């Protein structure tokens, strides 16, 4: 029986884009958990002592952890997508020389006011 690699067994998706998203999502989730652990160890803003004094510390800790996991995973996945190389159509080479400005006619609304003392008044 032949051994298969982890990606062929189905642990990672076969599609490269989904594989990229899964890897970066897991990395962001690990960073989110590490962030929460750092907050608790350093007792930033008294969050560890606040959680330890409440009877519902599981709810507070799970909300903090899930929010951090979601944030860090989303940022990691978004950064991975934005750093992908763009597939663009080949462009024509830039033209050399100076380009002349092209005059453009545009309609500018003008408020018409009759001159004072004009004969256009309704009598």
Question: Which residue do the tokens 């560890």 mark?
Answer: 48
Query: What is the predicted pLDDT for the residue at 7?
Result: 47
pTM over 0.85? The answer is no
Query: What is the predicted pLDDT for the residue at 100?
Result: 75
Query: What is the predicted pLDDT for the residue at 29?
Result: 97
**List of residues 6+ apart from 77 with CB closer than 8 A:** 21, 24, 25, 28
Query: What is the predicted pLDDT for the residue at 9?
Result: 59
Question: Which residue do the tokens 């159509």 mark?
Answer: 89
Does residue 37 contact residue 68 with C-beta atoms inside 8 Å? no
- Name residues of the chain where pLDDT drops below 50: 1-4, 7, 123
Q: What is the DSSP letter of 40?
A: H
Does residue 38 contact residue 68 with C-beta atoms inside 8 Å? no
Question: Which residue do the tokens 């032949």 mark?
Answer: 2
């Amino acid at each position: 029986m032949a051994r298969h690699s982890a990606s062929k067994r189905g642990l990672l998706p076969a599609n490269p884009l989904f594989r990229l998203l899964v890897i970066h999502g897991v990395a962001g989730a690990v960073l989110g958990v590490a962030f929460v652990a750092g907050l608790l160890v350093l007792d930033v803003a008294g969050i560890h002592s606040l959680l330890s004094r409440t009877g519902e510390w599981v709810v507070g800790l799970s909300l903090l952890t899930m929010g951090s996991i979601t944030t860090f995973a989303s940022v990691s996945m978004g950064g991975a997508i934005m750093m992908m190389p763009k597939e663009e159509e080949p462009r024509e080479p830039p033209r050399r020389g100076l380009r002349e400005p092209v005059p453009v006619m545009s309609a500018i609304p003008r408020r018409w006011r009759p001159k004072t003392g004009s004969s256009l008044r309704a009598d």
